[in-house]
Amino acid sequence: MKWSLIFEIARALMFARMKQTLIAATGVMFSITMFVALLGFMNGLNAMLDGLVLNRTPHIRFYNEIRPNPNQPIDQGSTFENSLNIIRSIKPSTSRLAIHNSEAIIRTLEEDSRVLGVSPKISAQVFFNVGTIDLTGIVSGIDVDKEAELFAFTDYVTSGNFADLNQTNSIILGKGAADRMLADIGDVIQITTAQGNRVQLKVAGYYQSGLGDFDNVNSFASIATVQKMLGEPPAYITDIQVKLKDLSLAPPLAKEFGNVFGIDADDIQTVNAQFETGTNIRTLISYAVGITLLVVSGFGIYNILNMMIFEKLDTIAILKAIGFSSQDVNRIFITIALTIGIIGGVFGLIFGFLACLVIDQIPFETAALPTIKTFPVDYNLKYYLIGGIFSLITTYFAGFFPARKASSVDPVEIIRGK
């Protein structure tokens, strides 16, 4: 049988039951629209929430961890070598926080083809002197240009100019710390280091990551400024932050580089495993809800085709009586189902994209996230491909069983009953 004739008969049957056809197509359209909009919104939200921490977290961090000395004096002598030695209150060894030969390590990392970029850092515990009160905090000495390039530092500087950190004795305060000190941009604050050194720094801006506890204690200055605060030489570095071209390589490379350089190394997957777990769960929920909507619309198409077959039994009988085979009848109803799926799917993808555009324009302003102005949306093409393919699969199976039922109709029994 010619496909053109099958398409013509399928079109006639759909137009004969236009109301039911439109309802079925609308069901598919609504399901696809909600599927695309839900996944776009949820994954945009996931990217925003994870970005609050992961954008500012290096893929690999090298540092020297302070730990107790494993070589205790009592274990060095032969007098008690065959005894069970129990030592209480073991104190950390007198090791330095600074990374030895940091310049050579940074140069080696930058030459590695797997590394996207390297940024040195110094973490210094300080006291902010506010009148007679000392507030504890941390000043991070950073390479300003590297931080902006690799860790989106500028996205979190809500006031002031981040480039002012390149000037000596400048600091960008965490918003929480600035509020507690009532420090405005341009003010001069006094800081006391753990070594007892006192310095005065000019406030160049505010930093706000959206994590309140972080912003209450963390501030930023240039590496040279922090080295001067601590009275350390220009080679003094406590952390080396690495961004990789492929995030999945972080765990093996952290172990590899840690062994080569003889320093401690943490990878992003280990340190922030809870964020990846949360993202996967939220994404799974989004897909589950979207697919449920598509399956429900499939049941609607199934019911409508069943009713159409019941009402068109004489038409089916006549078609088979004049020479249409069971396979031809099957193709007619499969064509009806797929046509509904294609039309509903196309309009669903269009309206889904428009819904994402609307969500993307809805104001979303909160003091915790000053850089976010509207609700985040992910426009990834894969959501549209998944929605379109799944709509075809759902409507095909929704039409398969009614089509098989129609193809098994015995025209003799139908005509005899009439």
Q: What is the pLDDT of residues 256-272, one digit of tens each?
A: 888 888 888 888 877 77
- Is residue 416 pLDDT above 80, yes or no? no
Per-residue pLDDT at 73 exceeds 70: no
Measured CA to CA, the distance from residue 172 to residue 355 in angstroms comes to: 39
pLDDT at position 36 is 87
Q: Which of 246, 240, 245 is nearest to 106 (CA)?
A: 240
Q: What is the mean pLDDT of residues 130-155?
A: 85
Percent of the residues in the chain that have a pLDDT greater than 90, as a whole number: 6
The residue among 272 and 158 whose pLDDT is bigger is 158
pLDDT in the model for residue 411: 65
354 has pLDDT over 90 = yes
Alpha helices per DSSP H over 55-158? 73-76, 102-111, 144-150
pLDDT in tens, 366-393: 665 666 778 888 888 888 888 888 778 8
Half-sphere exposure of 409 (CA within 13 A, CB side): 29
Backbone φ, ψ for residue 306 (5° rounding): -60, -45
DSSP string spanning 296-337?
Answer: HHHHHHHHHHHHHHHHTHHHHHHHHHTT--HHHHHHHHHHHH
Residue 266's Cβ-count burial label (10 Å; 0-12, 13-18, 19+) is buried
How high is the pLDDT of residue 149?
85
Give the domain ranges of the chain: 3-54+275-417, 60-84+92-268
Instruction: Give the pLDDT of residue 220.
Output: 92
Q: Please list the residues that pair with 174 across neighbouring strands.
A: 207
* Residue 271 pLDDT: 73
DSSP 9: H
> Residue 80's pLDDT is what?
66
| Closest of 108, 17, 31, 4 to residue 315, by C-alpha | 17
pLDDT band at 90 (very low <50, low <70, confident <90, very high): low
The per-residue pLDDT for 350 is: 92
Evaluated on CA atoms 226, 227, 229, 230, the torsion sign reads positive
Residue 324 to residue 188: CA distance in whole angstroms? 91
For residue 275, what pLDDT band results from cuts at 50, 70 and 90? low
Question: What is the C-alpha separation between 299 and 24, in angstroms, rounded?
Answer: 10
HSE, CB side, 13 Å, CA atoms: give it for residue 3. 2
Nearest to 344 by CA among 380, 307, 394, 379: 394
Classify 90 as helix, strand or coil.
coil
Nearest 5°: CA angle at 127, between 157 and 241? 50
* Cα(202)–Cα(172) distance, integer angstroms: 9
Average pLDDT over the chain, rounded to an integer: 80
201-250 per-position pLDDT tens digit: 999 889 887 777 788 888 999 998 999 888 888 888 989 999 988 888 88
Phi and psi dihedrals of 340, rounded to 5?
A: -60, -40
Q: Are the C-beta atoms of residues 297 and 91 closer than 8 Å to each other?
A: no
Between residues 61 and 279, which one has the greater pLDDT?
A: 61
Confidence of residue 353 (pLDDT cuts 50, 70, 90): very high
- Bridging pattern class, strands 133-142 and 157-160: unpaired
Q: Is the pLDDT of residue 346 over 80?
A: yes
Q: Which positions ≥6 away from 387 have C-beta within 8 Å?
A: 32, 35, 36, 290, 294, 345, 348, 349, 352
| CA 170-172-176 angle, 5° bins | 140
Is it the case that residue 299 has pLDDT exceeding 90? no
Alpha helices in 151-272 (DSSP H): 175-181, 212-217, 223-230, 250-261, 268-271
